[in-house]
């Protein structure tokens, strides 16, 4: 099962940016030491960009043949109709994740353009939000009757 973890703007600065909110670990460290060993049965890939169009290109590239996408769109979550349209267009299911609890922060962060087109949203569990999203995909077994990787 091929799963893409896609991070948007400023998430390349994890471990350096606002540590009281986002923690002191880089995503690469968490990915290599925690996520890869925790999900040996998933084919995990990680990609990050600060550029909205590059995120759209990546979603389009994998969105018709990967089985899942775990997407933290960073601040584009709260602004991007274009990313919302891409998630609606592709067939691969997307789980929205946030490290911080966006609903406990400024009002502007309560709006998400990603959430309405995602299968579900996970927000506020620190880096473990990604693990929870991957658990969702891991438990979807291809053999399960009626299961369909594609969105309904
Ligand atoms: C974030 C929350 C967003 O509001 C913020 O712009 C980010 C990170 C999170 O993971 O908590 O860059 O997506």
**Entry pTM:** 0.93
Tell me the C-alpha distance between 133 and 15, whole Å.
Answer: 21
Q: Return the pLDDT at 144.
A: 47
Is the pLDDT assigned to residue 146 strictly greater than 50? no
Q: Is 30 a catalytic residue?
A: no
**149, part of any domain:** no
- Could you report the per-residue pLDDT of 56-111, keeping only the tens digit for each? 999 999 999 999 999 999 999 999 999 999 999 999 999 999 999 999 999 999 99
Instruction: Identify whether the C-beta of residue 10 lies closer than 8 Å to the C-beta of residue 17.
Output: yes
DSSP letters, 44-107, are EEEEE-S-HHHHHHHHHHHTTT-SEEEEE-GGGGGT-HHHHHHHHHSSS-EEEEESS-GGGS-G
User: Which residues span the domain enclosing 83?
Assistant: 2-139
Instruction: Indicate the DSSP class of residue 11.
Output: G
Q: Return the pLDDT at 151.
A: 65
**85, part of any domain:** yes
As for how many domains the chain has, the answer is: 1
Q: Give 124 Cα–ligand 1 centroid separation in angstroms.
A: 10
Exposed/middle/buried for residue 15 (C-beta within 10 Å: 0-12, 13-18, 19+): middle
Confidence band for 140, pLDDT divided at 50, 70 and 90: confident
Q: What is the mean pLDDT of residues 20-26?
A: 96
Residues facing 97 on adjacent strands:
122
Q: Give 142 Cα–ligand 1 centroid separation in angstroms.
A: 32
Q: Give 105 Cα–ligand 1 centroid separation in angstroms.
A: 10
Q: Return the pLDDT at 82.
A: 98
Tell me the C-alpha distance between 94 and 120, whole Å.
Answer: 8
Nearest protein CA to atom 8 of ligand 1, as residue: 74
Flag whether 72 is marked binding. yes
Tell me how far CA of residue 74 lies from CA of 36, 42, 102, 130, 140, in angstroms.
22, 24, 10, 13, 26
Q: Is 130 a catalytic residue?
A: no
Return the CATH number at 109: 3.40.50.9100
Is the pLDDT assigned to residue 46 strictly greater than 50? yes
**126, part of any domain:** yes
Q: Which of 30, 98, 113, 130 is catalytic?
A: 98
**122, part of any domain:** yes
**147, part of any domain:** no
**13, part of any domain:** yes
The mean predicted confidence, pLDDT, of the chain is 94
Q: Return the pLDDT at 107.
A: 96
Q: Return the pLDDT at 141.
A: 61
Exposed/middle/buried for residue 63 (C-beta within 10 Å: 0-12, 13-18, 19+): buried
């Amino acid at each position: 099962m091929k799963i893409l973890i896609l991070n948007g703007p400023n998430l390349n600065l994890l471990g350096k940016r606002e540590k009281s909110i986002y923690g002191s670990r880089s995503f690469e460290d968490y990915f290599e030491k925690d996520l890869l060993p925790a999900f040996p049965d998933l084919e995990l890939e990680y990609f990050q960009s600060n550029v909205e169009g590059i995120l759209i290109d990546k979603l389009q590239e994998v969105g018709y043949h990967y089985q899942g996408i775990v997407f933290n769109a960073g601040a584009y979550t709260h602004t991007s109709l274009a990313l919302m349209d891409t998630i609606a267009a592709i067939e691969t299911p997307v789980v929205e994740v946030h490290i911080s609890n966006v609903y406990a922060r400024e009002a502007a962060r309560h709006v998400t353009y990603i959430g309405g087109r995602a299968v579900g949203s996970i927000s506020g569990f620190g880096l473990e939000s990604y693990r929870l999203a991957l658990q969702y995909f891991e438990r979807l077994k291809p053999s399960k009757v009626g299961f369909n990787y594609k969105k309904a």
